[in-house]
Amino acid sequence: MIETSRSALWPILSGGLIAGTLDILQACILFGWDIPLAIAAGLLGKQAFQGGGATYALGLVLHYFIATTATAIYYAASRKLTFLSHNWIVCGLFFGIAVELVMSLVVLPLSALHARGPYQLHDLLLGLGMHMATIGLPVAFIVHRFSKVDQPVASIPVSKTA
């Protein structure tokens, strides 16, 4: 059963905040500080690019909602698939790949912008690398760090003496 107590809330909210912040910062550095307007445009359409502070704030809220939802999905999966917490580096890298692919191949085509390929190899690799580093690894680390799942313990042989 998935934890519904406050013990689940802390890693989910902190993971969403940290991963969301890392991701929005790298996106703004690479593509400009109007990225939150582009995120809002996924909901509002192209007119969002002429929006003001409220539209910018909506883009940030949507971005953090997506990052927190991704964290909640990883957290929930890690309760049943404990290797997600134990092997957090490898699993985090693959989770970052999965987030990028879902965003590029599902969310963006279904958004009000209807953004879809063809994608250039450089952009695809940049998106994969950035989401592995800014979403996958931070989320997996936080879930690992705050995990209630028993960590494997090395066994120490005990010799019996008579």
pLDDT of 88 reads 97
2 pLDDT more than 80: no
- What pLDDT, on a 0 to 100 scale, did the predictor assign at position 117? 77
Digit-coded pLDDT (tens) for 41-93? 999 999 999 999 999 999 999 999 999 999 999 999 999 999 999 999 999 99
Largest CA-CA distance found in the chain, in angstroms, rounded: 84
pLDDT tens per residue across span 94-128: 999 999 999 999 999 999 999 887 889 999 999 99
pLDDT value of position 65:
98
- Domain for residue 129, yes or no? yes
Q: Grade residue 6 by pLDDT with cuts at 50, 70 and 90.
A: low
pTM for the model: 0.85
Taking each helix axis from N to C terminus, what angle separates 137-145 and 6-31, rounded to the nearest 10 degrees?
160
Asked whether residue 154 is domain-assigned, the answer is no
Residue-range definition of the domain harbouring residue 31: 6-145
160 is a domain residue: no
Query: Which structure tokens are listed for 65?
Result: 């909602």
Question: Over 90: is that where the pLDDT of 3 sits?
Answer: no
The total number of structural domains that make up the chain:
1
Give residue 47's pLDDT. 96
Report yes or no on 124 lying in a domain.
yes
Count helices and strands (H / E) in the chain.
8, 0
